[in-house]
């Protein structure tokens, strides 16, 4: 192993013992030495640049620096090492066809997944590299094909690789369930008590991080038995990823554009609001007026509840109610509760169908049963939100099917803040599923909430509403609380896909919860 000497008075030589910790470090490499391959050690071995045999075609200088100046750091990651810069000065000597290796050491304890990231100036972001953690040495190793890079180790709090594991019996084999790694990923799981390991494929989601914050994975019992007795129930484990299947646009919460110092949002408009103070924590085109689709329904339900209805009151369904929906969409395009004319159900069932399942006909039936004329109900919706300060919002019907129903991200955050003063709306909008039977026919109904974050996110979600129209794109409002009950509201309008809508809104919420914690 070659050690690097400091640049001093313009005289450069290879050092025969450990150089001082300060830098930068520089080494001249001859063509003959390059052909043999070697490893370069700098900053007391904190960073090693490993150049395999024959990877360099000619002589070159190599420089390694520790970056002391301030750099924008990714908000969602934890920096575990210093930032190092290496450069192969003769660009013609390395063509990038074969990878070189970099090892960086750190001295911090972290149970989260660690990777070396490089800073991409084109996107002003940090991008992860394929890495292997050598846990006993607190070292991360990666391959890369650059002549120059700024590098650092970051830990991702979205991915737990050291914790506990339990077992389950389902689809027997060397399988595991993970709330962090995508299905199809291959993990090596070590029992920390005896150092036995088993390689497993992720084929299911779980355990829920909200309920089991220290559980990294759960093992199918066939795999669990290879490293521990089933009688133990749970064991302390460490995970080494062998293959990570990237089946989603964002892997481990990181945008394809990389990890930045602020959220990455491609939706047409977005806002992040501190509910308690009213402070805007982040925004993009937050005052632009756009269609809001089914987000309309929260305002409609609030107006309905302001009429002080008896929710256990029976309502006879009329197919005429849903005919209002077909003024804007074809019958097969409308989210609806498949009721027959004359079917009887409670106002509560209709309310939950409207908020959990976004049923458009349920909204119209509630409007009819409110005691207000339909035109007066819509007028009340507009007057109510205007009184709250939502000056850019306009409703022409109560479901959101009309693209003429418009608002801004900021307006809708204001609306959400007011709407969630009602505990019924709080409860209904975050219910993952709702089941009921009609009163006369006893027909059973089961409704699933379309907000995937309610099913998979580790956040404490306290409010939610999805929306979609061709003209509106994918719209989403989610409200979440920290451990002290402090709430943030995120609104995204006009996302290009449902997946992006969920991912970007969740990123905003996590960003907001981190800010209000500081």
Catalytic machinery residues: 294, 297, 358
Mean pLDDT across 53-57: 93
Range name among 27-31, 65-69, 155-159, 178-182 with the lowest pLDDT average:
65-69
Q: Where are the beta strands (DSSP E) in 352-484?
A: 406-407, 433-437, 444-448, 460-469, 473-481
- Domain extent listing, the chain: 2-158, 161-243, 269-517
Separation of alpha carbons 145 and 221, rounded Å: 41
Residue 470: DSSP 8-state: T
Split at pLDDT 50, 70, 90, the class of 21 is low
CATH superfamily, domain 269-517, is DD-peptidase/beta-lactamase superfamily (3.40.710.10)
Split at pLDDT 50, 70, 90, the class of 480 is very high
**Distance between start and end Cα atoms, the chain:** 44
Question: Does 183 carry a binding-site annotation?
Answer: no
Range name among 159-168, 264-273, 447-456 with the lowest pLDDT average:
447-456
Split at pLDDT 50, 70, 90, the class of 22 is low
Separation of alpha carbons 338 and 453, rounded Å: 25
The reply to whether 161-243 shares the fold of 2-158 is no
Record: fold of 161-243: Barwin-like endoglucanases (2.40.40)
Among residues 393, 396, 401, 395, the alpha carbon closest in space to that of 361 is found at 401
What is the helix (H) or strand (E) element at residue 369, kind and residue range?
Answer: helix 360-369
Record: fold of 2-158: Chondroitinase Ac; Chain A, domain 3 (2.60.220)
Residue 10 has pLDDT above 60, yes or no: no
Total-model pTM: 0.90
Q: Count the Cβ atoms, other than its own, within 10 Å of residue 288.
A: 16
Tell me what the pLDDT averaged over the chain comes to: 93
Split at pLDDT 50, 70, 90, the class of 68 is confident
């Amino acid at each position: 192993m070659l050690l690097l000497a400091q640049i001093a008075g313009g005289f450069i030589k290879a050092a025969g013992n450990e150089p001082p910790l300060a830098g930068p470090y520089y080494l001249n490499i001859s063509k003959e030495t390059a052909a043999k391959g070697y490893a370069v050690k700098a900053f007391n071995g904190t960073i090693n640049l490993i150049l395999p045999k024959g990877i360099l075609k000619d002589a070159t200088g190599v420089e390694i620096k520790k970056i002391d100046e301030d750099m924008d750091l990714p908000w969602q990651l934890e920096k575990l090492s210093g930032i190092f810069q290496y450069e192969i000065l003769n660009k013609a000597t390395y063509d990038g066809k074969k990878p070189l290796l970099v090892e960086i050491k750190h001295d911090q304890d972290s149970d989260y997944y660690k990777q070396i990231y490089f800073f991409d100036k084109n996107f002003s972001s940090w991008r992860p590299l394929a890495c292997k953690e050598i846990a006993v040495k607190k070292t991360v190793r990666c391959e890369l094909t650059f002549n120059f890079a700024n590098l650092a180790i970051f830990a991702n709090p979205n991915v737990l690789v050291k914790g506990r594991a339990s077992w389950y019996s389902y689809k027997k084999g060397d399988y595991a369930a993970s709330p962090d790694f995508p299905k199809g990923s291959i993990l090596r799981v070590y029992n920390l008590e005896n150092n036995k390991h088993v390689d497993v494929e992720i084929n299911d989601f779980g355990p829920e991080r909200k309920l089991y914050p220290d559980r990294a994975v759960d093992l199918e019992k066939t795999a669990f038995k290879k490293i521990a007795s089933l009688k133990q129930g749970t064991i302390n484990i460490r995970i080494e990823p062998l293959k990570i299947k990237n089946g989603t646009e964002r892997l481990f919460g990181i945008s394809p554009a990389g990890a930045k110092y602020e959220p990455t949002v491609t939706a047409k408009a977005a806002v992040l609001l501190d509910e308690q103070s009213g402070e805007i924590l982040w925004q993009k085109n937050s005052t632009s007026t756009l269609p809001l689709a089914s987000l309309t329904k929260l305002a409609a339900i609030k107006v309905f509840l302001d009429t002080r209805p008896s929710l256990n009151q029976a309502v006879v369904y009329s197919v005429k109610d849903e005919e209002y929906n077909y003024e804007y969409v074809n019958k097969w395009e409308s989210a609806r509760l498949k009721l027959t004319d004359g079917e009887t159900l409670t106002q509560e069932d209709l309310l939950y169908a409207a908020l959990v399942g976004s049923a458009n006909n349920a909204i119209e039936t509630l409007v009819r049963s409110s005691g207000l004329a339909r035109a007066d109900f819509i007028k009340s919706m507009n007057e109510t939100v205007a009184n709250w300060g939502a000056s850019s919002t306009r409703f022409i019907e109560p479901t959101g099917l009309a693209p003429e129903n418009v608002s801004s991200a900021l307006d809708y955050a204001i609306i959400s803040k007011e709407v969630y003063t009602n505990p019924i709306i709080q409860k209904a909008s975050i219910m993952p599923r709702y089941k009921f039977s009609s009163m006369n026919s006893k027909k059973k109904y089961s409704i699933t909430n379309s907000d995937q974050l309610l099913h998979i996110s580790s956040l404490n979600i306290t409010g939610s509403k999805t929306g979609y129209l061709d003209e509106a794109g994918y719209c989403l409002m989610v409200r979440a609380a920290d451990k002290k009950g402090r709430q943030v509201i995120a609104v995204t309008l006009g996302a290009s896909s449902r997946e992006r809508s969920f991912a970007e809104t969740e990123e905003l919420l996590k960003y907001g919860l981190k800010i209000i914690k500081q």
